[in-house]
Amino acid sequence: MSEHLIHTITQFIASIGIPVVFETIKAETFVPGILINKGTLVVDEDRLLYPGDLLHEAGHIAVAFPADREVMYGDIGAMTEKNQSDGEEMMAIAWSYAACVHLNIDPAIVFHPYGYKGSSDWYLEQYGSGNMLYLPLLQWAGFCYDASNAEKNGAQPYPAMIRWLRK
Question: Could you give the CA distance from residue 141 to residue 151 in angstroms, rounded to a whole number?
Answer: 18
Q: Quick one: pLDDT at residue 1?
A: 54
Taking CA 166 as the corner, what is the angle to CA 111 and CA 126, rounded to the nearest 5 degrees?
30
| pLDDT at residue 82 is higher than 50 | no
With beta carbons less than 8 A apart as the criterion, state whether 20 and 40 touch. Answer: yes
With beta carbons less than 8 A apart as the criterion, state whether 77 and 89 touch. Answer: yes
Counted residue by residue, the chain has a size of 167
Q: Quick one: pLDDT at residue 77?
A: 59
* Half-sphere exposure in the Cβ direction for 116 (13 Å, CA): 23
Q: Quick one: pLDDT at residue 117?
A: 87
Each residue's pLDDT tens digit, 15-63:
999 999 999 999 999 899 999 999 999 999 999 999 999 999 999 999 9
Q: Is the pTM of this model over 0.85?
A: yes
Q: Quick one: pLDDT at residue 63?
A: 96
